Amino acid sequence: MKKSLIAAGAAFALAAGPVVAPALAQDKPIKIGFISTFSGPTAVIGNDMRNAFELALDHMGRKMGGRAVEVIYEDDMQKPDIGKQKTEKLIESDKVDFIVGYIWSNVLLASLKPIVDSKTMTVVANAGPSQLAGELCSPYVFSTSWQNDQTPQAVGEYMNQKGVKTAYLIGPNYAAGKDMLQGVASTFKGKILGQDLTKWPDQLDFSAELSKARAAKPDAIFVFYPGAAGVQFLTQYAQQGLKGQIPLYTAFTIDELSLPLQKELALGVPGAQQWVNDLPNDANKKFVSGFREKYKTSPSFYASQAYDAAQLINSAVTAVKGDTSKKDAMRDEMRKANFPSVRGPFKYGNNHIPIQNFYLQDVVKKEDGSLGLKTVATIVENSQDRHHTKCQMKW
């Protein structure tokens, strides 16, 4: 009799085993690794992204698919080798379910192989190197921003609309900088009189490049410098007497983070963006008002992309009812972009890069005398990056 009871107990345990394991897994938090820059001059960008991600979690009740969420923040220090090390740590030691973040294209490219090799679901919230959109596209990597070329392509289109016939291009010598200048050149119908790629991220003196641009006598200058470099560039542009003499067009040089330092220097410098704080959709209104209430400042486009990243992950986890082992099902759900994006509706291309609108943004003075960014017009609708044809990924 005793043997029969033991056997029956063993049989019950074997039968119950597969049921118990998923239940235990559901009790564990979803682990998300967040890689950005949290030290040095560009930490302001990383902190803005982190704040937005935390706000999104607040709006979800800090749960996804019924499971609590644990976020592990890692500082890449704006260095590709450090970024790769932190990526490997999150994958191998922390065993995260998702990775989010990446400001810099060169940091992302250095980190891409361990992500793809480990099949870790990843949402890139800013960097948009052309390689990721093309030959290095992956079933496990999505973007909630853009491919680097797209924003400057919109600027090139706007320069055509303004009748610009000649231009001089200036930007930093790294993956994103090269993509930005090539993006403008791909849509601008006028003549490029010259271009300069400067040392990144150390060079903050642009007097030589501005002197060359002045000597070329272009109708306009296009510039891409994010963060502190953008503040320095606008300052020196004005100091050399070029403001009011040669019109300046930009992508990513002026944003909600740099504007308080650039102040009136940013007036009259148009740019393009896929998100501006005043887009009139419900998701964006909730995001902007929630951000201002919690952090007492306005969010940047970096923040908007991080907020969307959290929403995209949530849509995938909810679809599989919290079972993050179902990577194929999560990927298929993410491809639908089935979440309330702060930019309004968009869809994914075959390379997991958004197909979306780009808007003309301008700096305006508010009634209280402060400066802010305003949507002026839609430059291009449903823009798809020009590298998607190189992506061999099949849906």
**pLDDT tens, position by position, 326-368:** 999 999 999 999 999 999 999 999 999 999 999 999 999 988 8
CA atoms of 124 and 146, how far apart (whole Å): 9
Average pLDDT over residues 241-246: 96
Contact 172, 223 (CB under 8 A): no
Contact 363, 267 (CB under 8 A): yes
Q: Are residues 368 and 236 in the same domain?
A: yes
What spatial distance separates the first Cα and last Cα of the chain, rounded to whole Å?
A: 58
Q: Are residues 235 and 121 in the same domain?
A: no
- Establish if 21 belongs to a structural domain: no
Domain count, the chain: 2
Query: Which of the four pLDDT bands, split at 50, 70 and 90, describes residue 21?
Result: very low
- Establish if 305 belongs to a structural domain: yes
Q: Are residues 127 and 195 in the same domain?
A: no
pLDDT score recorded for residue 369: 86
- Establish if 354 belongs to a structural domain: no
pLDDT score recorded for residue 225: 97
Contact 347, 355 (CB under 8 A): yes
Q: Are residues 132 and 119 in the same domain?
A: yes
- Establish if 394 belongs to a structural domain: no
pLDDT of 99 over the 50 cut: yes
Q: Are residues 34 and 130 in the same domain?
A: yes
Q: Are residues 239 and 214 in the same domain?
A: yes
- Establish if 3 belongs to a structural domain: no
Q: Are residues 209 and 106 in the same domain?
A: no
Phi then psi for residue 175, to 5 deg, are -50, -50
- Establish if 227 belongs to a structural domain: yes
Q: Are residues 251 and 369 in the same domain?
A: yes
Residue 91's H or E segment, with its range, is: helix 80-92
Q: Are residues 129 and 248 in the same domain?
A: no
pLDDT of 25 over the 70 cut: no
Q: Are residues 129 and 94 in the same domain?
A: yes
Is residue 354 classed as helix, strand or coil in its secondary structure?
strand
Q: Are residues 124 and 244 in the same domain?
A: no
- Establish if 203 belongs to a structural domain: yes
pLDDT score recorded for residue 10: 45
- Establish if 388 belongs to a structural domain: no
The CATH number of the domain where 225 resides is what? 3.40.50.2300
Parent domain of 375: 150-273+361-383
Average pLDDT over residues 242-265: 96
Which amino acid type is present at position 29? P
pLDDT score recorded for residue 26: 65
Query: Which of the four pLDDT bands, split at 50, 70 and 90, describes residue 4?
Result: very low
Q: Which two tokens stand for residue 272?
A: 């393009």
Average pLDDT over residues 171-199: 97
CA atoms of 82 and 35, how far apart (whole Å): 10
Query: Which of the four pLDDT bands, split at 50, 70 and 90, describes residue 14?
Result: very low
pLDDT score recorded for residue 368: 87
